[in-house]
Amino acid sequence: MTRKEVLENRQALMNVTSRGRPPHPSLIVALPLPKDVNVSFEFFPPTTEKAEQSLWACVERLAPVNPSFVSVTYGAGGTTRERTHETVVALARDTDLAAAAHLTCVGSKKHEIRDIAERYWNAGIRHIVALRGDAPAGDRPYRPLTDGYAYASDLVADLKAINDFEISVAAYPEGHPEAASGEADLDNLKRKIDAGATRAITQYFFDPDVYLRFLDRARAAGIHVPIVPGILPVTNFKQVQKFSGLSGTALPDWLAGLFDGLDDDAETRKLVAASVAAEQCRVLHASGVKDFHFYTLNRADLTFAICHMLGVRPDIEPNGITN
């Protein structure tokens, strides 16, 4: 190819790439930094002293970005009843964060759940993430105890009758695996809202369109409370692959491709994970989403980086003075 042809080719390429486009490349991260994002963080109760230190280091790093609330999960099968309680109460007592307790129906009779709810209320906890939970492996599907709650909607109604808790519930953009149909699952979400829940938090998903289509369907079904996307920064793809089978979350091929070959390279997996989740959030924000709930897995670094890219930052002036 002659030099003239090379120059002509380059010019043709530039004409193609710049035609009708703004001067910036079409990178989503080149859009103006959001200034209207609210975040919340989910932690799990620690089981060892080391895990406890990790949790509090995570809380210390993330608290300065001012989450609207933080929540603490309730172990599968109700196994962390006391630890969840201790962690939520410590968050409320020792930090300025608004702390919420997850509570499931598994393995408990109604009067036991009512006692737990009263204890939370008396400890100043006003926000419950009310869930049905899952039966332990080998004992599925879930069957309520005699005098237990069959569904989360029953738990929501009862919690509201006990005290005026703020209640969040779970939503499933790809449908709950046990639901008879997508429509039946939306009916169930509506029942939970009608029973008194004021927010839904979604199961994690990876394709923003999946969430946006679900949001449209929910609005059309008359559900008008915030439906906050649950964001899972994936650092261990193999683990997520296993869990997604149970939770019914689709793992797109492109995601598998991005993590391919990184099984023994945790550092690179982290970089990939932050970039995937940040792009997911920025695409959602560009579609009008302003609230995000992060499954932190008690690790701050990725969530902190993604918050930073969403314009959610500690209240620190450039000169280092805290607001």
Ligand X SMILES: Cc1cc2nc3c(=O)[nH]c(=O)nc-3n(C[C@H](O)[C@H](O)[C@H](O)COP(=O)(O)OP(=O)(O)OC[C@H]3O[C@@H](n4cnc5c(N)ncnc54)[C@H](O)[C@@H]3O)c2cc1C
Q: Does 223 bind ligand X (CB under 6 A)?
A: no
The site that binds ligand X (CB under 6 A) totals a number of residues, namely 24
DSSP letter at 167 equals: E
Q: How far is the CB of 179 from ligand X (least distance, A)?
A: 4
- With beta carbons less than 8 A apart as the criterion, state whether 37 and 43 touch: no
3-class secondary-structure state, position 123: coil
Q: Given the complex with ligand X, which of 176 and 285 has the nearer CB atom?
A: 176
Closest separation in Å from C-beta 132 to ligand X:
3
Residue span binding ligand X (CB under 6 A) among the ranges 26-34, 170-178, 262-270, 301-309 = 170-178
Is residue 82 part of the contact set for ligand X (CB under 6 A)? no
Does 303 bind ligand X (CB under 6 A)? Our answer is no
In the complex, the smallest distance separating the C-beta of residue 257 from ligand X, rounded to whole angstroms, is: 26
201 binds ligand X (CB under 6 A): yes
Residue 193 binding ligand X, by CB under 6 A: no
- Active-site annotation holds for 42: yes
Between residue 234 and residue 253, which ones bind ligand X under the rule CB under 6 A? none
Distances (CA, A) of 232 to 49, 205, 259, 306: 25, 8, 15, 11
Catalytic annotation, pick one of 42, 49, 86, 178: 42
Strand partners, 227: 200
By C-alpha distance, which of 277, 272, 279 is closest to 233?
A: 277
Which three-class secondary structure state does DSSP give residue 51? helix
Identified binder of ligand X from the candidate list 87, 92, 100, 102, rule CB under 6 A: 102
**Residue 40 interacts with ligand X (CB under 6 A)?**
no
The whole-angstrom separation of Cα 323 and Cα 316 is: 6
With binding defined as CB under 6 A, does residue 70 bind ligand X? Answer: no
Report the alpha-carbon distance of residue 238 to residue 28 in Å, rounded.
Answer: 28
151 binds ligand X (CB under 6 A): yes
**Counting contacts by CB under 6 A, is residue 229 touching ligand X?**
no
113 forms part of the interface with ligand X (CB under 6 A):
no
- Specify whether the CB–CB gap between 205 and 248 falls below 8 A: no
- Helix, strand, coil % over all residues of the chain, rounded to 5: 45, 15, 40
Strand ranges inside the chain, DSSP E: 38-43, 69-72, 99-104, 127-131, 166-171, 199-202, 227-228, 230-231, 291-295
Q: Quick one: which of 88, 89, 170, 232 contacts ligand X (CB under 6 A)?
A: 170
- Between the CA atoms of 159, 232, 289 and 103, what dihedral angle is there, to the nearest 10 degrees? 0
The catalytic site residues sit at 42
Contacting positions for ligand X (CB under 6 A): 73-74, 76, 102, 104, 129, 131-134, 151-153, 170, 176, 178-179, 184-185, 188, 192, 201, 203, 230
